[in-house]
Amino acid sequence: MQDLTFETLIAVFEEIFGTALFWLMVVAAVAITAGYLYVLIRDREMSMRKFLLAQLSMPVGALVAVLIVMLATHSHLRDIGGPIDVVVLLGVAALGAVGMAILVYTLQSLFWPPSEEPPRS
Q: Kindly report, residue by residue over 66-105, the tens digit of the pLDDT.
A: 999 888 888 888 888 888 888 989 999 999 999 999 999 9
- Per-residue model confidence (pLDDT) at position 114: 76
Average pLDDT, the chain: 88
In this structure, is the dihedral angle defined by the CA atoms of residues 28, 34, 40 and 43, taken in order, positive or negative? negative
- In this prediction, residue 1 has a pLDDT band, given cuts at 50, 70 and 90, of low
Per-domain residue ranges for the chain?
Answer: 6-116
- Per-residue model confidence (pLDDT) at position 15: 86
The CA distance from 73 to 62, in Å, is 17
